[in-house]
Amino acid sequence: MVNLGVNLAGVELKNPVIPASGTFGFGREYAELYDINILGSFSWKGTTRDMRLGNPQPRIAEMAGGMLNAVGLQNPGIDAVIREEVPNIAKIFDGPVIANVGGFSLEEYAENCRKLNDVEQVKILEVNISCPNVHAGGKNFGCDPKAAAEVTAAVKAVTNKPVFMKLTPNVTDIAEIARACEDAGADGVCLINTLLGMRINLNTKKPLIANRTGGVSGPAVFPVALRMVWDVYEAVKIPIIGCGGVSSAEDVAEMMLAGATAVEVGAANLKDPYACKTIVENLSAVCERLGVANISDLTGGAHR
C-alpha cells in the first residue's frame, strides 16, 4: 500500500494534490460534484482587502494547449470571506485549507494575513506577489527581489502560520526571487503563476481579451513550470508547491521529481471538474509503477 501523505512546512496532507487558487473558488461548487475531502488541501480564490469586481469582459479565451485569463482578482474581500465563506468551508471540507492572499501594498498584504492568522482551518498562507505595487509605478511585487522580500517580511511579522510566496514566472531569474523570499523568512514557495500572453481576433483585429493581455495556463506551460521548479529546488532549502499545466497523476510525479513537495492543479479543473479526483485516484498506481512506497520520496528524486 502506497503512503500518499506529505508534510508541507509542518502541515500534514493526506496526499500532495491541491486545486490551485482561482480554479476552485471556495470549494462550494466542486463539493456538489464529489467529496472534496479526498484532496490534500485546496487553495481558495485570491482574496484582497476590498471587494473586487475584476476586469471587464471578455476576460477568458481558449488557446491551443490551455487558456488565457485576465479575471482581475474578482473576490468579495477578506472580511466577507472570513464571515461567509470560512464557515461554509468547514461544512464541506475537514482538512487544512490554503488561503491565497493578494494585495496592492505592503500594508494590505499584512492586514489580510493578520486577519487570517486566527482562522483555525487556514493552515498555510499563500501570498500572491504577482499583484502590481501601486506605490512603485505598478510593477509587480514578484518581479523584484527586494519587493518580494519586503512582502515576505511584512507578512511574517503578523502571522505564525507557514507563509508560501507564490512566484510569477515573468522574470529573468525566478531562483533569485525565491532566494530573496527564503532569506526574508518564507516557509515555502509556490510556482509558477501564469505566463503573460495574448491573442488577437482576426475578424475584429482586436485582442481577444479586453485587458489585452492575460495569464497563460494549461498543459502548454507544464515544461516551463517544471524547469522553474527544478531551478528553484537547486537554489533554496524551503519546500516548493509546484504548479503550472498539471493535468494527470503522472504530471504530479514528474513535478515532485523536479523538486515539489506538493502540487497544485489549476486549469485542468476548468476543463474537467473531476480532474483532481481522478488524479488522486490514480496516484497510487503511478507510485507502484515507479517502485515508490512513500510518495514523498519522489521529491527531488531527479536531482539525485
Task: Supply the residues annotated as catalytic.
Answer: 131
Torsion over CA: 19, 23, 28, 29 (sign): negative
3-state SS of the chain? CCECCEEECCEEECCCEEECCCCCCCCHHHHCCCCHHHCCCCECCCECCCCECCCCCCCEEEECCEEEECCCCCECCHHHHHHHHHHHHHHHCCCCEEEEECCCCHHHHHHHHHHHCCCCCEEEEEEECCCECCCCCCCEHHHCHHHHHHHHHHHHCCCCCCEEEECCCCCCCHHHHHHHHHHCCCCEEEECCCEEECCEECCCCEECCCCCCEEEECHHHHHHHHHHHHHHHHHCCCCEEEECCCCCHHHHHHHHHHCCCEEEECHHHHHCCCHHHHHHHHHHHHHHHHCCCEHHHHCCHHHC
Q: Beta-carbon neighbour count of residue 303 at 10 Å?
A: 11
Q: What CA–CA distance (Å, rounded) separates 43 from 262?
A: 12
